[in-house]
Amino acid sequence: MSGHWHSLQSKNLITVRTHDHQGFHFFKDSISIELIFNQDHTVSGKIGNSTFREKVTKYNFGILPPAKTGIEWIVPCGKLGSLFENDPDPNKEIELWISPEKSDHTREVEIRMTTKGSHFPMGGVIISK
């Protein structure tokens, strides 16, 4: 999966979730994604306004194969800052769940917020080389 991948659309809707004593709060805006996959299975990239560098990709070796789960690669991006201008959470953990490549040479990416063990689906993006 090496190479430079980017979101097909310049604006992809995502939702950031925060939590306080009053409950959950949701904030929406649009982002784009750029990912550079290296031969050594590391990836660097930009998700909205935040960047990450040299994160190791994980092949999805779950009980079911990627063709069944729809997830081939997982990228633990680590702690990222604000993804868009009004993003109220400047310190969130993000993972990217990436599908197998399709016949049109695209992949689906699900952006997951994994802060404090959650797996909140923030949104999806289609990427291509």
Q: What is the pLDDT of residue 67?
A: 80
pLDDT over threshold 90, residue 97: yes
Select the more confidently predicted residue: 63 or 108.
108
pLDDT over threshold 90, residue 68: no
Q: What is the pLDDT of residue 26?
A: 97
pLDDT over threshold 80, residue 63: no
Q: What percent of the chain has pLDDT over 90?
A: 86
- pLDDT band, residue 116 (cuts 50/70/90): confident
Residue ranges covered by each domain of the chain: 3-128
63, with CB counted inside 10 A (0-12, 13-18, 19+), is exposed
Determine if residue 90 is left, alpha or beta; phi over 0 gives left, psi from -120 to 50 gives alpha, anything else beta: alpha
Residue pair 66/82 in contact by the 8 Å Cβ criterion: no
Q: What is the pLDDT of residue 1?
A: 80
pLDDT digits (tens, 9 = 90+) for 7-57: 999 999 999 999 999 999 999 999 999 999 999 999 999 999 999 999 999
How far, CA to CA in Å, does 27 sit from each of 21, 32, 118? 17, 16, 17
